[in-house]
Amino acid sequence: MDTNIEIKDSAEALAAIASILIAADSVGRVEERNAVIERLKTTGALAGQENAHIAALLGRVTGQLCERLPTTESGAFTPAAVGAVIEAVKPLLDRSARAEALDLAEATAHADSASPEEQAIVDRFRVAFAI
């Protein structure tokens, strides 16, 4: 499996973070996805974008992550995959964007009641982003 992921900008970085968290509890609900899209619309990188644009971005990034990163049998990304995403997104986000990304991670985790798996990933982002 080619684990080389290409995250080009802060918008893709935020989509990758959301994708990791949506998959974390192996239960991707439409309500969770819709809440994530609404939250992404409030970020600096995606402010003013239409739902269709954000949904397409989220779908494209999620597809790349699923193709290139290891997942568990239930479809959640492995700890190694989470680490690869952290390493890919961190250089693209300045301190304020990292705080915004952590807010997004927390909102995504809590969109459908945070599972222990989701909280563990949020905690990894918090440590990695030094927030």
Checking if the pLDDT of 43 tops 80, the result is: yes
Residue 34: pLDDT band by 50, 70, 90 thresholds? confident
**Per-residue pLDDT, 1:** 54
Cα–chain center distance at 97: 13
Which structural domain, as residue segments, surrounds residue 35? 10-128
Domain-embedded: residue 4: no
Q: What is the pLDDT of residue 27?
A: 66
The total domain count for the chain is: 1
CB atoms within 10 A of CB 124: 17
Mean pLDDT of 48-72: 95
Does residue 97 lie in a domain region? yes
Closest of 88, 91, 87, 121 to residue 104, by C-alpha: 121
